[in-house]
């Protein structure tokens, strides 16, 4: 069975071309799971070496949901294409082959340009005159649907202006299984509902601006370590395959897949498959997850794009549902491709059926039409590989010297919006009354390198791979260049000086005698501390993407301690990628306020000043739990290979019990619970009302699909696929053409010519009508899952002295022995003036009260009593009721 998953014609070992250098660092390796913290549902289940069942054929697009018109237009376009033109749409031209981080081939005959795929989830990477937005994990703390949409739209507008077709974001994988996961900050929240609503709003925003959104990384991409064998090799780990995230069916549906379903329902045009294996089958060739779950059950209509070098075979990936190979070469700069000429050959020899390549091309073009790229497209006017105005179009072979950067300023007025987004995402964790600052403080002192500019400049470290100066973004491909970075120190200094008061700072974290001296004079101290993480290809201070610990960087705890020892009015501001341990200072009476400001982007200083000085009343709520120790989270990263030289096995034994669900189940008191956040005013909750709504019964989807459409025809004569006469090929560039009329020579692979039964799984070539999936039926799954069964209302009153905003949250207890005590299901950000009330309205859908049944492969509502809780955090829930089913 594994053979169909892991192998195929044209399979090759992943190269070591991009291996990093370094040593396996000596870490205080924690256990992956903590004894006694396994999910009760997984008692007796062995996840080690779990397998992923095969599922074929790959579902073909059918234009369901909002895709009908895009589908019609895509079919019309693809019907005109030759086989090699279709191959060009599906295969990248190779790493650094063109201006964007990924480009597919073009169709010169029809004047159709190469599609441009560009990072990142928080703005345009490797460019200039673009904005640097707050990170996903930061804006998650706003719990604000409108803000998420607006941020997505603004990013989309910038992408569009640079000539980018496909934005490589947003992120819901990692979801945030463990707080130390290096890329958690690129995503939103470990809660699937908060992430699901945020991703849907972001997708809509990006795509309404005329750019295709790529929801990534599908799926189980929960840690950096071991995500790619060559990268791990560079860090001194001798493993032959990527880590396998071993996830059971229920956990997949109730947790990790949930926000992907929301993204699909919102119309995401692309989904990126991940580096890791899932149940020992690579993300981009896992037929179960791509064919059955994503394109079958979730009815995904767009295209699946590989992560960069996450493709490990040719035919195997095509039959397992992948639609676009990125960046196109087997590994960076080999000049060879699993697709390109190999895909041309595979279609000609029947290993990949024609309907499958037609479906790949149709899905890509449908996403293009869905978002209106035919009208929004402008030529790409920047180059990822060089910031100079002139340079090589193809930098590796140094060909095509020309103007490559046109420095188009796409920022519009987004800076103002970014300032607002970050301020509204700031969480007030502690306040003894010092905030908001009256700005009549006699002597203000600011401390910490995190308050100030990186001495190397805001973009001084490539892909932000350092922690110098104020932290406003993590590191890796999920970054953008800053147009400027307003530091906290400059914003606060301007504010204080405008009032002719005193302000001084020490930004050397280790100048303890100067710190003590200044702290002793200050009537107010503001200490900035941080904790960073990022993507696995960069190691910062021994953190190979993932964090080694949950404590502060640059000895932030000691810095705080030195300040508080001399100053009884110390405000702590934390810039971090996720939870940090606050035990050493949280209860210190001299710490009079604590703010979590996340990764705020380019307006960092202005955003925090707006909160400190009370221009904006904080209303952000933690999108994760802050615990007293990493053990309290109940699960952890896999820091050491545990399977010899074979794929490390990352067993998700905690099931659905991550973050607050783990704390609640083990009855562990967090320091600050999920959903917690203070305001400068106060709110009262009353009048819970639960109204039953009429909805039909849940009916499984039945029947058969139509047969796979075939668009056009093609020759079986290899002579028709040779490089055109006098063609001047760019070295290392991936083309669809063959270099020989002998198939084995053209494939250049020892795997060529294997008997088909060794690499073509049963049923994989069939274009006959297929049974529909019971839990499917439309993009996002069975449409009746989204029927509203109840509407809950409550009254929220601002009983304090300032106008403010409050985020009432609705949690449901599903009641079963394997269920979390309560799970978030809805929320609303309400603006309520002092003395006034507002009504919180939350709909409860069928999905919200369902569990996944692994036997029927469908959702069902259990007989256990269901409770509803409404309040201001996951542990402050004054209103409770029951759902009468």
Ligand X SMILES: *[C@@H]1O[C@H](CO)[C@@H](O)[C@H](O)[C@H]1NC(C)=O
Q: Which of 22, 40, 108, 146 binds ligand X (CB under 6 A)?
A: 108
* Binding of ligand X by 453 (CB under 6 A): no
**Nearer to ligand X among residue 748 and residue 763 (C-beta):** 748
Q: Does 346 bind ligand X (CB under 6 A)?
A: no
CB 310, min distance to ligand X, A: 15
C-beta of 144 vs 441, nearer to ligand X: 441
Stretch that binds ligand X, among 121-129, 132-140, 564-572, 710-718 (CB under 6 A): 564-572
Q: Select the span of 102-110, 227-235, 246-254, 578-586 touching ligand X (CB under 6 A).
A: 102-110
Query: 196 — phi, psi (to 5°)?
Result: -65, -45
**Toward ligand X, which CB reaches closer, 155 or 343?**
343
DSSP annotation of 541 reads T
Q: CA 277, CA 233: separation in Å to the nearest integer? A: 17
Q: In the annotation, is 358 catalytic?
A: no
Which positions from 746 through 775 interact with ligand X, judged by CB under 6 A? 747-749, 751
Separation of alpha carbons 564 and 584, rounded Å = 11
Q: Per rule CB under 6 A, is residue 543 in the interface with ligand X? A: yes
- Looking up tokens 């993480």, which residue turns up? 533
> Does residue 586 bind ligand X (CB under 6 A)?
no
Judged by CB under 6 A, the stretch of 138-146, 394-402, 539-547, 765-773 that binds ligand X is 539-547
Question: Nearest CA to 142 among 427, 425, 429, 428?
Answer: 425
Residue of 646, 666, 695, 841 interacting with ligand X (CB under 6 A): 646
Cα 47 to its chain centre, rounded Å, is 25
> Pick from 456, 742, 836, 854: which binds ligand X (CB under 6 A)?
456
Among 10, 70, 347, 594, which residue sits at the site for ligand X (rule: CB under 6 A)?
10
* Residue 542 binds ligand X, judged by CB under 6 A: yes
Q: Which of 191, 192, 173, 171 is nearest to 259 (CA)?
A: 192
Does 336 engage in binding with ligand X (CB under 6 A)?
yes
Give the Cα separation of 624 and 138 in Å (integer).
Answer: 11
Least separation in angstroms between residue 676's CB and ligand X is: 23
189 lies in the site for ligand X, by CB under 6 A: no
Dist CA 583 CA 604 (whole Å) = 25
According to DSSP H, which parts of 673-748 are helical? 743-747
If one asks whether residue 551 binds ligand X (CB under 6 A), the answer comes out as yes
Contact 454, 101 (CB under 8 A): no
**Token pair belonging to 22:** 């370094």
Does 408 interact with ligand X (rule: CB under 6 A)?
Answer: no
- Residue 626-645 contact track with ligand X, rule CB under 6 A, x = bound: -----------------xx-
What percentage of the chain's residues is helix, strand, coil (to nearest 5)?
25, 20, 55
| 565 interacts with ligand X by CB under 6 A | yes
Q: Under the phi-then-psi rule, with left for phi > 0, alpha for psi from -120 to 50, and beta for the rest, what region is 476? A: left
Closer residue to ligand X (CB): 336 or 435: 336
Sheet strands side by side (includes 166-167): 102-103, 116-118, 166-167, 212-218, 270-273, 303-306
Pick from 419, 343, 410, 354: nearest CA to 382: 410
Stretch that binds ligand X, among 333-341, 604-612, 657-665, 793-801 (CB under 6 A): 333-341
Is 97:114 a contact under the CB 8 Å cutoff? no
Residue of 69, 374, 409, 541 that binds ligand X (CB under 6 A):
541
- Min CB(561)–ligand X separation in Å: 4
Among 380, 564, 635, 850, binds ligand X (CB under 6 A): 564
Q: Distances from the Cα of 39 to the Cαs of 22, 32, 279, 376, 864, in angstroms?
A: 36, 14, 18, 48, 18
| Near ligand X in 471-510, by CB under 6 A | none
427 strand-pairing partners: 596
Task: Name the catalytic one among 144, 165, 262, 307.
Answer: 307
Whose Cβ is closer to ligand X: residue 640's or residue 834's?
A: 640
Cβ neighbors of 272 (< 8 A, separation 6 or more) are 168, 214, 215, 216, 217, 218, 304, 305, 306, 307
Nearest-angstrom CA–CA distance, 706 and 686:
53
Which of 74, 107, 662, 765 lies at the binding interface for ligand X (CB under 6 A)? Answer: 107
Cβ-contact 599, 467 below 8 angstroms: no
Specify the residue, 558 or 687, whose C-beta has the smaller distance to ligand X: 558
Distance CA 511, CA 596 (A): 24
CA distance 268 to 370: 10
397 counts as binding ligand X under rule CB under 6 A = no
Q: Which of 156, 341, 627, 804 touches ligand X by CB under 6 A? A: 341
**Does residue 466 touch ligand X according to CB under 6 A?**
yes
Of these, 105, 170, 220, 808, which contacts ligand X (CB under 6 A)?
Answer: 105
349 contributes a contact to ligand X by CB under 6 A = no
- Out of 196, 314, 321, 328, the residue judged to bind ligand X by CB under 6 A: 314
Q: 19 to 78, contacts with ligand X by CB under 6 A?
A: 31, 34-35, 48-49
Rounded to whole angstroms, how far apart are CA atoms 9 and 347? Answer: 12
Q: How many residues of this chain interact with ligand X, rule: CB under 6 A?
A: 60
**What number of CA atoms fall less than 13 Å from residue 51's CA on the CB side?**
9
Helix (H) or strand (E) holding 156: helix 145-162
Helix axes 258-265, 192-208, angle to 10 degrees: 20
Chosen residue from 561, 766, 791, 803 binding ligand X by CB under 6 A: 561
Instruction: Provide the CA 650 distance to its chain's centre, in angstroms.
Output: 20
Q: Minimum distance from CB of 22 to ligand X (Å)? A: 14
Segment 782 to 811, residues that bind ligand X, using CB under 6 A: none
CA–CA dist 603, 594 (Å, integer): 20
What is the set of active-site residues?
Answer: 307
Site residues for ligand X per CB under 6 A? 10-12, 31, 34-35, 48-49, 84-85, 88, 93, 105-108, 114, 314, 330, 336-338, 340-342, 455-456, 461, 466, 468, 512, 540-543, 548-549, 551, 553, 558, 561-562, 564-569, 588, 590, 592, 643-644, 646, 735-736, 747-749, 751
């Amino acid at each position: 069975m594994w053979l169909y998953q892991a192998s195929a014609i044209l399979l090759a070992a992943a190269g070591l071309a991009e291996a990093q250098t370094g040593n396996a660092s000596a870490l205080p390796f924690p256990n992956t799971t903590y004894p006694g913290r396994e999910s009760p549902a997984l008692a007796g289940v062995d996840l080690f070496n779990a397998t992923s069942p095969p599922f074929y054929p790959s579902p073909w697009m059918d234009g369901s949901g909002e895709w009908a018109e895009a589908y019609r237009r895509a079919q019309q376009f693809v019907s005109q294409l030759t086989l090699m033109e279709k191959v060009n749409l599906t295969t990248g031209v190779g790493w650094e082959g063109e201006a964007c981080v990924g480009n597919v081939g073009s169709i010169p005959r029809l004047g159709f340009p190469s599609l441009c795929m560009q990072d990142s989830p928080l703005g345009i990477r490797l460019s200039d005159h673009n904005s640097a937005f707050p990170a996903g994990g930061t804006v998650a703390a706003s719990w604000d649907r409108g803000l998420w949409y607006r941020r997505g739209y603004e990013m989309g507008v910038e992408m569009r202006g640079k000539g980018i077709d496909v934005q490589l974001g947003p992120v819901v994988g990692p979801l945030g299984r463990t707080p130390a996961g290096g890329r958690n900050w690129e995503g939103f929240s470990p809660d699937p509902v908060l992430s699901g609503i945020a991703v849907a709003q972001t997708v809509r925003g990006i795509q309404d601006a005329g750019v295709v959104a790529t929801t990534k990384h599908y799926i189980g991409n929960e840690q950096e370590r071991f995500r790619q064998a060559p990268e791990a090799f560079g860090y001194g780990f001798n493993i032959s395959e990527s880590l396998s995230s071993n996830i059971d069916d229920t956990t997949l549906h109730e947790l990790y897949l949930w926000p992907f379903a929301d993204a699909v329902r919102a119309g995401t045009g692309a989904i990126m498959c991940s580096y890791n294996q899932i149940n020992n089958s690579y993300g981009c060739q896992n037929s179960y997850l791509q064919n059955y779950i994503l394109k079958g059950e979730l009815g995904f209509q767009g295209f699946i794009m590989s992560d960069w070098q996450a493709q490990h075979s040719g035919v195997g990936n095509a039959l397992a549902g992948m639609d676009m190979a990125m960046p196109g070469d087997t590994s960076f700069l080999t000049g060879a491709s699993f697709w390109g000429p190999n895909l041309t050959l595979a279609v000609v020899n029947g290993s990949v059926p024609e309907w499958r390549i037609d479906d790949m091309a149709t899905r890509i073009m449908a996403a293009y039409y869905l978002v209106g790229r035919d009208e929004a497209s402008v030529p790409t006017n920047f180059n990822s590989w060089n910031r100079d105005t002139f340079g090589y179009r193809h930098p590796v072979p140094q060909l095509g010297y020309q103007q490559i950067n046109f420095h188009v300023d796409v920022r519009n007025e987004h800076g103002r919006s970014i300032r607002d987004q970050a301020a509204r995402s700031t969480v007030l964790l502690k306040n003894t009354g010092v905030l908001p600052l009256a700005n009549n403080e006699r002597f203000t002192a600011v401390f910490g390198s995190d308050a100030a500019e990186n001495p190397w400049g805001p973009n001084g470290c490539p892909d932000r791979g350092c922690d110098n100066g104020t932290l406003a973004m993590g590191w890796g491909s999920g970054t953008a260049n800053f147009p400027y970075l307003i530091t906290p120190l400059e914003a606060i200094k301007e504010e204080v000086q405008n009032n002719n008061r005193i302000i001084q700072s020490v930004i050397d974290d280790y100048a303890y005698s100067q710190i003590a001296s200044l702290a002793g004079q200050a009537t107010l101290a503001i200490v900035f501390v941080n904790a960073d993480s990022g993507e696995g290809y960069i190691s910062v201070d021994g953190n190979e993407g993932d964090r080694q610990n949950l404590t502060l960087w640059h000895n932030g705890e000691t810095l705080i301690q030195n300040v508080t020892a001399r100053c009884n009015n110390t405000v702590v501001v934390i810039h971090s990628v996720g939870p940090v341990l606050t035990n050493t200072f949280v209860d210190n009476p001299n710490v009079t306020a604590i703010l979590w400001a996340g990764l705020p982007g380019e307006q960092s200083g202005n955003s925090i000043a707006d909160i400190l000085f009370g221009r904006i009343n904080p209303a952000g709520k933690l999108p994760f739990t802050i615990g007293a120790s990493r053990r309290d989270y109940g699960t952890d990263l896999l820091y050491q290979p545990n399977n010899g030289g074979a794929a490390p096995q990352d067993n998700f034994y905690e099931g659905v019990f991550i973050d607050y669900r783990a704390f609640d189940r083990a009855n562990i008191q967090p320091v600050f619970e999920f959903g917690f956040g203070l305001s400068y005013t106060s709110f009262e909750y009353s009048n819970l009302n639960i109204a039953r709504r009429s909805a039909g019964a849940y009916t499984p989807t039945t029947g058969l699909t139509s047969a796979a459409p075939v668009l056009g025809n093609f020759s079986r004569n290899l002579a028709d696929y040779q490089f055109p006469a006098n063609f001047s090929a760019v070295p290392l560039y991936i083309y669809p053409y063959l270099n020989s009329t002998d198939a084995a020579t053209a494939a250049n692979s020892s795997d060529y010519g294997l008997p088909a039964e060794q690499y073509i799984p049963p049923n994989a070539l069939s274009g006959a009508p297929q049974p529909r999936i019971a839990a499917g039926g439309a993009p996002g799954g069975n449409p009746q899952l989204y029927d509203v069964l109840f509407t809950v209302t409550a009254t929220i009153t601002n009983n304090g002295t300032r106008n403010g905003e409050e985020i009432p949250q609705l949690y449901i207890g599903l009641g079963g022995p394997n269920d979390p005590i309560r799970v978030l299901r809805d929320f609303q950000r309400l603006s309520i003036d002092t003395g006034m009330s507002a009504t919180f309205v939350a709909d409860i859908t069928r999905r919200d009260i369902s569990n996944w049944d692994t036997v029927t492969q469908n959702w069902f509502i259990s007989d256990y009593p269901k409770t509803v809780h409404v309040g201001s955090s996951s542990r402050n829930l004054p209103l409770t009721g029951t759902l009468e089913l």
